[in-house]
Amino acid sequence: MSHNEKRTHWAKEGAISLGTGVLYGLTNVVVGHPFDTIKTKMQAQKGYENISMIKTFSKVFGKEGIKGLYRGCVPPLMGSGIYRSIQFSAFEATYTVLDNPFGKMHVPLTHGIEFRVILGGLMAGTVRALVETPLEYAKIKRQTESTWKLRDSFTGLRITWLRSQFLLPSFFIFLDSFRRHLDGVFRSPFLGPFIASGCASVMAWWIVWPLEMIKSQIQAGYLEEKNLTVYQRIKYIVKKRGGFLSLYRGLAPGTVRSFIANGSAMVVMQYAQRKVTQWGLRD
């Protein structure tokens, strides 16, 4: 579903997506990491709580230059290719193996969304959370200039898994909807995949943004001294940090990052998928 090529066996589709997903992940980090750094600082580092995206950028760039914007990029650069390739591999394998009457059944009141899209997204979210958690922990500690310990690498696993169970199904549902309703545009080699993936990722992130903010704070150790649960942390932020909208701190750089990075990454992955077919690897 994340490509237009004729499908082969589910195991082969999973293996192909494992390879092309690496390119998606690497492109995503190279293009998007500066925006991610701004987002993380606005969400989880003291001194950045009450300033805008532009002021945060100016502060980081003025202090450290390009190096500061790419601080902490090594763990996600190494890991993004891994967990994004695994997420696409898990989705494509599940989506293809459910190429049957049950998998193709439409979920009621969804204008044509198939069960296999949702089930594939849930599987992708689970495998992504397991791989992403330690990598995100290391990245956020570097971005916020904090010390970290290897034994704490899976800090935030539960909130990361919960976030991913909403994020990935939402992303693939939106992507599938764009493909079905704007199929002619999506088949273009650049503009279609860029817009479809960029919009799908932005809409999915908007849904889970409060959970992403809580995840960043937990992994950064922000408000750690209060030993708050997820619910208590949300309640504290709403009450003490400026109301409901405070749960959407960092949304502006996150939106820009998500649209540009995921749009660019999908263009690269679609190109790789076409090459796989041209090379006869799907035969």
DSSP string, 5-43: SPP--HHHHHHHHHHHHHHHHHHHHHHHHHHHHHHHHHH
For the chain, the average pLDDT equals 86
pLDDT of the residue at 226: 64
pLDDT at position 206 is: 95
Convert the pLDDT of each residue in 95-128 to its tens digit.
Answer: 999 999 999 999 998 889 999 999 999 999 999 9
Examine the pLDDT at 178 and tell me if it is beyond 80: yes
The pLDDT assigned to 145 comes to 80
Tell me the pLDDT band of 181, cut-offs 50, 70 and 90. Answer: confident
For position 24, which CATH number holds? 1.50.40.10
More confident residue, 263 or 143: 263
Residue 119 forms part of a structural domain: yes
Evaluate whether residue 3 is within a structural domain: no
Domain count, the chain: 1
174 lies in some domain: yes
Q: State the pTM of this model.
A: 0.83
Would you say residue 184 lies in a domain? yes
Asked if residue 97 belongs to a domain, the reply is yes
Between 248 and 93, whose confidence is greater? Answer: 93
When pLDDT is cut at 50, 70 and 90, the band that residue 187 belongs to is low
40 to 62, 78, 119: CA distances (angstroms): 17, 19, 30
CA distance 143 to 154: 17
- Classify residue 2: in a domain, yes or no: no
Q: Is residue 47 part of a domain?
A: yes
> Quick one: which of 32, 76, 39, 104 has its CA closest to 266?
32
What confidence category does residue 184 fall into, taking pLDDT thresholds of 50, 70 and 90? low
Residue 222 covered by a domain:
yes
pLDDT of residue 7: 84
Write the pLDDT tens digit of every residue in 228-274: 777 787 788 788 777 777 888 888 888 988 999 999 999 999 899 98
pLDDT, tens only, 5-57: 888 888 888 999 999 999 998 999 889 888 888 888 877 777 776 788 888 88
d(CA 22, CA 257) in angstroms, rounded, equals 18
For the stretch 203-237, pLDDT in tens is 999 999 988 888 887 887 776 666 777 778 778 87
CA-to-CA distance for 187 and 196, rounded, in angstroms?
Answer: 10
Q: Give me the domain span that covers residue 165.
A: 10-278
Q: How many CB atoms lie within 10 A of CB 81?
A: 19
